[in-house]
Chains A and B, each alone.
Chain A
Amino acid sequence: MSGLVDMNLNALLAVSPLADVTLYHYLVVSAAMFSLGIIGFLTRRNMIIMFLCTELMFQGVGLALIAFGRRWMDHSGEVFVIFVLTIAAAEAALALALVVLLYRKKGSLDAQAWAQLRG
């Protein structure tokens, strides 16, 4: 690789948005993931996908926790993510068992099919 190309690439990468990744960048990614999860949870009607979207929200929160832990040089963030993983696993086991149960009952994964449960 010639020095010229090297220099140009480095000059290109030195442009301000690429120059330095801060906590802000990670939090924006995390917030975007959380919002995508919310949008998916509200719009999709398939119950499995709705639960998948809650996992997406877990992911957003986990990224924020790890980023904050890195910011303050503290490992509590990673420990919290371990607990989030635990809850996600428990939720997956229970929710998916429920989903299969409901599917056997109605033959449909549509969340609207269970609208009569509304109080």
Chain B
Amino acid sequence: MALPRRSKINPQAIGGLIAAAGVGGLIAILALVAGADRPNLFFYIFAFITLGAALRVITHKRPIYSALYFILSILGSAGLYLLLDAEFMTFALVIIYAGAILITYLFVIMLATTAPSDEGYEVVEEYDAVAREPIVSTFAGFLVLAILTGWLSVGVPHLPEPTQSSGDAALASLPLKVQASFDEVGLLKFTDGSLTAVQPGAEAGSWYDAETRQAQLVLKDPADFRELLRNARAIERGADLSEDAGSLSPEALSLVQTDPITNADGSVVVMVAFPDSLYARNIESVGVELVGGHPLALEMAGVILLLAMLGAVVLARKRIDLEQSEKLSGATGTLGGSNA
């Protein structure tokens, strides 16, 4: 509003700003009052934005506004993705779709629209203003909607409660992350420092199991660790020891599930639980699933993108040839932009 301008400030703009601030404030108040335990509210807000903008995409007369409404629709569905705990896809959607693909569309719309005439800049082409077979296609669209939602009405499955550890299967593929997490707690310094083996049920060696969120650590100096553990537990119970419990933090103490066990092969091991902070984040799970689960499809996606790029280049070259041949033959009236 404070930007320099020639004309007087448009009262409509002020009204719109106040209305937008009011709606935003209302949503913020609703979020504060009821948002913490009711993400459903945001589902309805985002669904409304998404579908309303999608409706405007197909009804707006001017292509450039259609594309802009499509961006709004993308942002709305990005919000829905966020509600579905797909954080990585949320931002990928905003960056790739709204940021890259839609900008391409906007470029092409600007390239391929009739230049504004002198008398007025509101040029709406006849093929934008008049729909084709509106009744039949709307009927077809609602038929599809009825079929899709009809299938859905068989059952209403509830979404399971999200837990932090729901993606922990990916931890089996992330040994360095698990190792770093135990290192941070301070438990790895009693071992030889490595926790990379994934052998559920193995007897010897350090290993971890992502399913049960347990790890077995081979102790370097069992007596030292035992003493440290005893001191730490005594301090936790309230005993006043002159010497401190070494560097065994309360968090590390709470993770130790068993006192050291001596195995048949002579190694002394201790069972520990995973720290609470250790869980596979959304992006890690998606990455493991993408590269580990679908490597061939990933390669093919790269090939498809390469082919699309080649195709676009070939098409662009063809246009130049066309223009040159038209110029050489002196043909007029069929070239783009001159007259429709």
Contact = CB atoms under 8 A, between A and B. Distances in A.
Interface of A: 1, 5-6, 9-10, 13, 18-29, 31-40, 42-46, 48-49, 51-53, 55-56, 59, 62-63, 66-67, 69-71, 73, 75-79, 81-83, 85-94, 96-101, 103-112
Contact of A75 (B83, B289, B336): B289
17 contacts: A10-B34, A21-B40, A26-B43, A26-B80, A32-B54, A38-B144, A49-B66, A52-B57, A56-B58, A63-B77, A73-B166, A75-B170, A81-B93, A94-B312, A96-B108, A99-B112, A106-B334
Contacts of A104: 319, 322-323, 335-337
B288 to A, nearest CB: 8
A85 B98 CA distance: 11
Interface in B171-196: none
Interface stretch (B5-13, B229-237, B271-279, B302-310): B302-310
A44 B158 contact: no
B216 interface: no
Nearest to A5: B33
Contact of B301 (A31, A77, A86, A98): A86
A contacts with B: majority SS: helix
A112 B308 contact: no
A90 B308 CA distance: 5
A10 to B, nearest CB: 6
A101 B309 CA distance: 16
B128 A46 contact: yes
Chain B interface category by residue count: 35 or more
B204 interface: no
Contacts of A97: 311-312, 315-316
Interface string B280-308: 00100110111001100100010011011
A38 B141 contact: yes
A73 B160 contact: yes
B14 interface: no
B134 interface: yes
Given A29-B51, A33-B50, A94 B311 contact: yes
B39 A21 contact: yes
B264 interface: no
A71 B160 contact: yes
Nearest to A86: B301
B293 to A, nearest CB: 7
A93 to B, nearest CB: 5
A76 to B, nearest CB: 6
B33 A6 contact: yes
Interface stretch (B84-92, B205-213, B238-246, B250-258): B84-92
